Amino acid sequence: MNNLDKYIIEKKEELLNKKITNELEIIKYIYIDLGKRFSFNEKFIPFGNSKFKQNLYKYHSKNISDLNECMDTNIVICKSLSYILEYVFKSFNIDIQTIIDSLDHISCPHVYNFIKISDGRKFCVDLQEDINAIQTHSFTNSFGFESPFSNKLIVTRKEQEIIDRKLGYITNDNYYSDDYLYLLHSISDGIEDFREKVKFILENIDYSNTDKMGYIDRQWHHKNVLEKFFNQKEFDYQSNSGKIRIYDGFIDVDSERKYINFILVMDKGEIDIYIYDENNSNYLKIDVEEYFNYLNNGLKIHNSKLPYIKRKNSKE
């Protein structure tokens, strides 16, 4: 028996023992459970070139062998994750479709799911987008919408909160952890200096334990946090052209890549460099000499050099 079918049998037994029989509760239970399991493939984004991405995208299919490989490695892209969700939910007799964005100019279009439940409601779920929310114990912002391009919730937040509470995802003592952002706002809104405000956010960015998160899922989590505190001129993740810029780096350790996330902050001619510290789950400010020490010890900044920083005393 393959791992995917073993997973289904295990979840059916769990749901039976927990006496969860409501269709929408089953859907949310599996959605959250799978979200805890997977990491997005960092070799696809950002480290894969166009040809590699296209080949990897084509390789991920709905073939059971491909899906089982993802279950073995716990590494997915949107396409494989959507097909896994479809395979699992169909075993629960849930009406689900896998949708591939019909954008002709995109070689690797995004893939997600639509679900129709017995009361006639049809809604979109995008588990790739919710992995970082689930793994930081936040509200699932890509579950239950009319479409990926709509803010209209078909499954309302209140309805989801009731379900999440029943499933034990939230409790009175352990609510959605992204509510912590209100506390950060209450403090950061009083910090007038831009660089000091960024420093405060980066030093307190992880409000939940993220040590088991994949590299890209954690980066998207940080991207979501920064977008709540800074406007597009200050932080633009898509173009990476604002005052706050995210850079991907890695060091080869025993033939394995150890990925390191850097953030550069530029304001009024001043530059701050931050490196993500997995041990403390926050960003640490380093000086230029420390940055060059990383370069001298094998750090590679993917597809870019940090702008405005000239190499000094570095070993070529």
The pLDDT tens digits for 263-272 are 999 998 899 9
Share of the chain above pLDDT 70, in %: 95
Confidence grade of residue 103 (pLDDT, cut at 50, 70, 90)? low
Confidence grade of residue 314 (pLDDT, cut at 50, 70, 90)? very low
Share of the chain above pLDDT 90, in %: 66
Q: What is the mean pLDDT of residues 113-139?
A: 96
235: DSSP letter: B
Domains, in order of start, for the chain: 3-167 (3.10.620), 177-301 (no CATH)
Q: What is the mean pLDDT of residues 77-92?
A: 96
Above 90 in pLDDT, residue 13? yes
Q: What is the pLDDT of residue 315?
A: 41
Above 80 in pLDDT, residue 93? yes
Q: What is the mean pLDDT of residues 102-130?
A: 90
Q: What is the mean pLDDT of residues 231-250?
A: 93
Dist CA 232 CA 215 (whole Å): 23
Spatial neighbors of 54 by CB under 8 A, at least 6 apart, are 107, 108
pTM for the structure as a whole: 0.91
Q: What is the pLDDT of residue 304?
A: 64
Place of tokens 């999440």: 164
302: DSSP letter: T
Q: Which residues pair with 196 in a beta bridge?
A: none
Residue 293 CA: distances (Å) to CA of 91, 106, 289, 298, 314: 53, 39, 6, 9, 8
| Interval 26-58: pLDDT, tens | 999 999 999 999 999 988 887 777 888 888 888
Dist CA 187 CA 180 (whole Å): 11
| Interval 178-227: pLDDT, tens | 888 999 999 999 999 999 999 999 999 987 777 778 999 999 999 999 99
Start-to-end C-alpha separation, the chain: 53
Q: Which residues pair with 235 in a beta bridge?
A: 244
At residue 200, what are phi and psi to the nearest 5 degrees? -60, -45
Residue 180 CA: distances (Å) to CA of 141, 176, 224: 16, 8, 13
Dist CA 223 CA 227 (whole Å): 6
Helices (H), the chain: 3-17, 23-37, 50-59, 64-73, 78-91, 127-135, 157-167, 180-188, 194-203, 215-229, 288-296
Confidence grade of residue 301 (pLDDT, cut at 50, 70, 90)? confident
Confidence grade of residue 316 (pLDDT, cut at 50, 70, 90)? very low
Confidence grade of residue 309 (pLDDT, cut at 50, 70, 90)? confident
